[in-house]
Amino acid sequence: MAKDLRTFLAQLSRDYPNELVTVDNEVDPGRFEATAILTELYERHKYPAVLFTRVKNLKGEVSSAQLALGLFSSHAKAEATLDMKGVSRLELIEEYVRREQAGCRPEVIAKKGAPVKQVIYRDREVDLSLFPIVRHCEMDGNPYIDTAVVSYDPRYGYNAAFQRMMYLDENHTAIHMSPRHTWTYFQAREQQGEPLPIAVVIGHHPAFYFGSLTMAPMDADEYEIIGGMLAEPLRVVASETYGEELLVPADAEIILEGEIVPNVRTVEGPFMEWTGYYGPQRLRWVVEIKAITHRRDPIYSCSFGHQTSECNYLNLATEAGLLADLRRVAPTTKAVACMGRGYRFNVVISMKKRMEGEPVSAALAALAATDYAKNVIVVDDDIDPWNLADVMWAVGMRVQPERDVTIIKGKKGSTLDPSSTHELATSAMIIDATVPLGQPFQRVVNIPDWVEQRVKLEDYISADWLNKADYPGTLV
Amino acid sequence: MTLIFYVDCPECEKDFYCDIELYHMDVELHCPYCGLYFKKEASARVGRPLKESHDLVTTTGRSQESFKIYKPAHPLRLKKD
């Protein structure tokens, strides 16, 4: 059986029962109710995937679709996505890199064997308001479809990328594209006065979306990368509208087929972004939906990106992409972490420095590899880059700002950065928090090894006290 | 991101913000709270940024004269309880 959203939910139910919860009460996602429930769960430090079995569509009727949210919101679910268990975040990242490089060619199947073709709407039958499209946060311009969009360019192959799409009416959405791959595909078409066919992939195995977030170059076929991430061929099928010119994932729950229309714009936004801010309303592109295909009783799904818990694991792809890139520049790079809320703007590189200048070269490579990277801290390999206290200890104890801080002006930045005063350009900061080589440096405090080996805590303090579940476990 | 301006919806009177390029264009803004489309001139309060630093060619790639504006015939209106 091919991997899909249903096999993943079954896997969670079987192997990680605390990672999936079902809500049978009627919920209206178009009126913030689904995201309000997720937010309340996260505030209680609970991060399950949530399957809403009875949800309203945009007409206010109970939909034939269910709604699955929070599919990326914990380490355990990231493990399940990559078929691993009991591994560290760095091991997940290393596995992501391995699968991305391995790849796997897609398998084209006939329509009759494609679950996503069980129900087909074309042309005037198309009605997006039949689905439980989620209105995430208060100032969102409308309900948003926030998932992977697939497009094809014969020069480069298939691209898959998360693009936010704002509901406009039954067969139109707005779409936001940052100036990367999908945008490049569309620019080439628009210059010829042609639309860009796209497929919106709603409800697939999370590995599909991990692959969609790849930082691979433009000419890498992302269906092959997604196959690598699934560890099996991605099954694809001819689209209803564009035939074999646009192959779409056969095991998705729902596919919206349509095209980005040339020479037309609309006002789009605001939208809750993973930055934690609402991106402003602006002029963006228009998508005309030509056909909708879906499974019987489909499961609608999307990302809830502004939540740190969710974006943290969606971000695994960025950390993996940076790790692979940086090891070409600095082979002793141990790990790359994107830190805190607004994660991709703050990058921490842990490395075994071999020569002065190597940390700055690694940081420059990170800044070049992704538009989002803005503040890069480089630490020695004794620092856990995901441990903010350790990282800030290194910054506090190993950095002389005059010597170790470098400011870069005018690099390509992100349209989502609220601090920027230019549409695309940004400044950037590199902090080299590694210990200088070739000169004496103070030693980190420690207890002698011979004493640590001899002292067993249980010999001195009762097991009852040591096992107290309510001990806070942190100092501050 | 770029410079923004705040605007009040003439119907529900709540405020939201837009990219400064929309300030200079002849387009209807869309209230995210009630769904109303309106020209900024209809707003009781439009806040401008202190400085403006870029022209009207942005990531949409074109100036306004070269494209049409799409507006839904029946915009979605959010009704409260």
Give me the amino acid identity at A225.
I
SS (H, E, C) chain A: CCCCHHHHHHHHHHHCHHHEEEECCCECHHHCHHHHHHHHHHHCCCCCEEEECCEECCCCCECCCEEEECCCCCHHHHHHHCCCCCCCHHHHHHHHHHHHHHCCCCEECCHHHCHHHCEEEEHHHCCHHHCCCECCCCCCCCCEEEEEEEEEECCCEEEEEEEEEEEEECCEEEECCCCCHHHHHHHHHHHCCCCEEEEEEECCCHHHHHHHCCCCCCCCCHHHHHHHHHCCCCEEEEECCCEEEEEEECCCCEEEEEEEEEEEEEEECCEECCCCCEECEEEEEEEEEEEEEECCCCEEECCCCCCHHHHHHHCHHHHHHHHHHHHHHCCCEEEEEECCCCHHHEEEEEECCCCCCHHHHHHHHHHHHCCCCCEEEEEECCCCCCCHHHHHHHHHHHCCHHHHEEEEEEEECCCCCCCCCCCCEEEEEEEEECCCCCCCCCCCCCCCHHHHHHCCHHHCCCHHHHCCCCCCCCCC
Measure B43 CA to nearest chain A CA, in Å. Answer: 16
ipTM value: 0.90
pLDDT for the residue B52: 55
Q: Which H or E run includes B76? A: none
As a whole number, mean pLDDT of residues A312-336 equals 92
* pLDDT reading at A207 higher than 50: yes
Six token digits for residue B21:
């390029």
- Out of B16, B69, B72, the one facing A172 most closely (by C-beta) is B72
A9-27 pLDDT tens trace: 999 999 999 999 999 999 9
CB-based contact A281 B22, cutoff 8 Å: yes
**% of chain A at pLDDT higher than 70:** 97
CB A428 within 8 A of CB A374: yes
Residue A472's pLDDT band, with cuts at 50, 70 and 90, is low
Measure A151 CA to nearest chain B CA, in Å. Answer: 18
Residue A465's pLDDT band, with cuts at 50, 70 and 90, is confident
Six token digits for residue A437:
């080589």
* pLDDT reading at A57 higher than 60: yes
Measure B49 CA to nearest chain A CA, in Å. Answer: 11
- Out of A168, A183, A284, the one facing B72 most closely (by C-beta) is A168
pLDDT for the residue A313: 78
CB-based contact A140 B32, cutoff 8 Å: yes
- Tell me the chain A residues in contact with residue B39 when contact means C-beta distances shorter than 8 Å: none
- Tell me the chain B residues in contact with residue A179 when contact means C-beta distances shorter than 8 Å: 59
pLDDT for the residue A474: 56
CB A165 within 8 A of CB A199: no
The residue among A305, A128, A94, A302 whose CA lies nearest residue A206 is: A302
pLDDT for the residue A219: 92
CB A182 within 8 A of CB A151: yes
Nearest CA in chain A to B23: A282
pLDDT for the residue A422: 76
How far apart are the C-alpha atoms of A175 and A144, rounded to whole Å? Answer: 10
Tens digits of pLDDT across chain B (81 residues) = 468 899 999 999 999 999 988 998 999 999 999 999 999 999 998 987 655 555 444 545 567 778 999 999 999 988 776
CB A260 within 8 A of CB A196: yes
A255-308 pLDDT tens trace: 999 999 999 999 999 999 888 899 999 999 999 999 999 999 999 999 887 666
Higher pLDDT, A42 or A376: A376
How far apart are the C-alpha atoms of A192 and A206, rounded to whole Å? Answer: 35
pLDDT for the residue B55: 45
pLDDT for the residue B59: 46
- Out of B28, B59, B67, the one facing A415 most closely (by C-beta) is B59
* pLDDT reading at A437 higher than 60: yes
A325-378 pLDDT tens trace: 999 999 999 999 998 776 789 999 999 999 999 999 999 999 999 999 999 999
CB-based contact A169 B73, cutoff 8 Å: yes
Residue A386's pLDDT band, with cuts at 50, 70 and 90, is very high
CB-based contact A423 B67, cutoff 8 Å: no
Q: Is B4 helix (H, G, I), strand (E, B) or coil?
A: strand
A64-93 pLDDT tens trace: 999 999 998 889 999 999 999 999 999 999
Work out the mean pLDDT of chain A and round it to a whole number: 94
pLDDT for the residue B56: 44
Q: How many CB pairs under 8 A join A and B?
A: 118
Side-chain-facing half-sphere of A104: CA atoms under 13 Å = 18
* pLDDT reading at A125 higher than 80: yes
CB-based contact A420 B72, cutoff 8 Å: no
- Tell me the chain B residues in contact with residue A263 when contact means C-beta distances shorter than 8 Å: 62, 66-68
* pLDDT reading at A120 higher than 70: yes
Nearest CA in chain A to B1: A415
